[in-house]
Amino acid sequence: MKFLVYSLAALLLTLSNHALAQEAPQLNLPRVKLTAGMHQIDAQVAHTPEQRATGLMFRREMPQHEGMLFAFEQPAGQCFWMKNTLLPLTAAFVADDGTIVNLADMKPQTTDSHCSTKPVRYVLEMNQGWFAKRGIKAGAKLVGQPFEGRK
């Protein structure tokens, strides 16, 4: 009986730690420097399915020059939503060569789907309004290591 109680307590502790981890922002992802015209971006890179699924969830703030670049294995139609995401964001759907295909403003904590208009390998999320304030629109190019040598 004592073993059962200890096992149950250990299981509950494990489950509660897992739930807490799921509600914490991921902060230690690799970073890449990108530019959009004369504007610098310091982007965390989400490479794995788990990193991409969590994205910017649970963050309460993000500096204006920072964002998150979602990198996929192959170009495809990409769709994003904002469940558990507290910040209003703009998603730039980006082709292999760094060209912004389309932009989508996304409201926090919604399950509305925001999709690329063409297959893309990358999606860059920035604070909402970042692109608009700088006059960056579809057709503009991002420059940086992920886009080098790609057509």
Domains of the chain: 28-147 (2.60.120.1140)
Q: Which residues of the chain have pLDDT under 70?
A: 1-23, 151
Do residues 140 and 37 make contact, with C-beta atoms less than 8 angstroms apart?
A: yes
Give the model's pLDDT for residue 22: 54
Beta strands in 14-148 (DSSP E): 31-36, 39-46, 66-76, 79-80, 89-94, 100-106, 114-115, 120-127, 142-144
Q: Who contacts 143 (Cβ-Cβ below 8 Å, separation ≥6)? A: 34, 35, 36, 98
Give the model's pLDDT for residue 151: 62
Q: Who contacts 19 (Cβ-Cβ below 8 Å, separation ≥6)? A: none
Give the model's pLDDT for residue 115: 98
Give the model's pLDDT for residue 18: 41
Q: Which pTM does this prediction carry?
A: 0.83
Give the model's pLDDT for residue 21: 44
